Amino acid sequence: MEPLDRPVWTSLTTLHAGLALGDALAKCYLPEVNRFASARDDSDEALAALAVLVRPANLVFVLQMPEIRIPPGLVASKTAKGVQMVAAASLAAEAGPDEVLSLGDADAPEMLALATLTQPGPFLRQTHRMGQFVGIRIDGRLAAMAGERFRFPGHTEVSGVCTHPDFRGRGLAGRLSRHVAASIAARGDTAFLHAWKTNTAAIRLYEKLGFRLRCEVNVAVLQCEAGLA
């Protein structure tokens, strides 16, 4: 199994170990950081350990290349196909009329508000702790942002790419995606990302930026069966 085949597990057992809960069989992110979780493999023991991490009132996202086996006691409220794309070459940052700014703790409320509005994927009040985030402000407002999510030696994911509806059509998402990917390449890592298989517009944008399809991935949102009663 390649590290990219189970990027959540690889991240939680390496560079994101400090953001993880769980044991040697299954792990999840701290509840204030993200909703992703992963079993080590598809053994009965690992799947049982994954089920233990899912609290009755919560849900978790599983993302991996292998087909997802649902642990006993859990149900999938959503399943979908995605694609995993990898940068085919080092990307250079692109100049533009608006300055690209580093985002941090002071920007967290605005980042959460923008992500909640645009739904780029699970984004919570401390998701920005997963990596470096950048944004563009227009007239003082956070118009767009992008950052890093799953990280492990040699690879970093571009994620959290979103633009406020008031500022779409200006190429901000592409510019910020390129900026993050260029920063990843500058430190010697390979950039990768995920998109829904049905999101053809996003896939075309990432192909224009220099990303190439690596594989399809499976995504499931899991919750306790008892929580549906």
Structure tokens at 201: 């517009």
Give pLDDT, residue 227: 55
In angstroms, rounded to a whole number, what is the distance separating the alpha carbons of residues 127 and 148?
10
Structure tokens at 35: 């909703």
Count of helices and strands (H, E) across the chain: 5, 11
Sequence-ordered list of residues with C-beta below 8 angstroms from that of 201, at least 6 positions apart, any chain = none
Cβ burial, residue 205 (10 Å; 0-12/13-18/19+) = middle
Whole-Å CA distances, 77 to 11, 34, 103: 24, 18, 33
Helix (H, G, I), strand (E, B) or coil at 15: coil
- Helix %, strand %, coil % for the chain, to 5? 30, 35, 30
- Judge whether 63 and 216 are in contact, CB under 8 Å: no
Give pLDDT, residue 158: 98
Sheet bearing 20-22, strands edge to edge: 20-22, 26-29, 37-39
Give pLDDT, residue 229: 45
Give pLDDT, residue 206: 93
The whole model's pTM is what?
0.94
Spans of the chain, pLDDT less than 50: 229
Give pLDDT, residue 92: 72
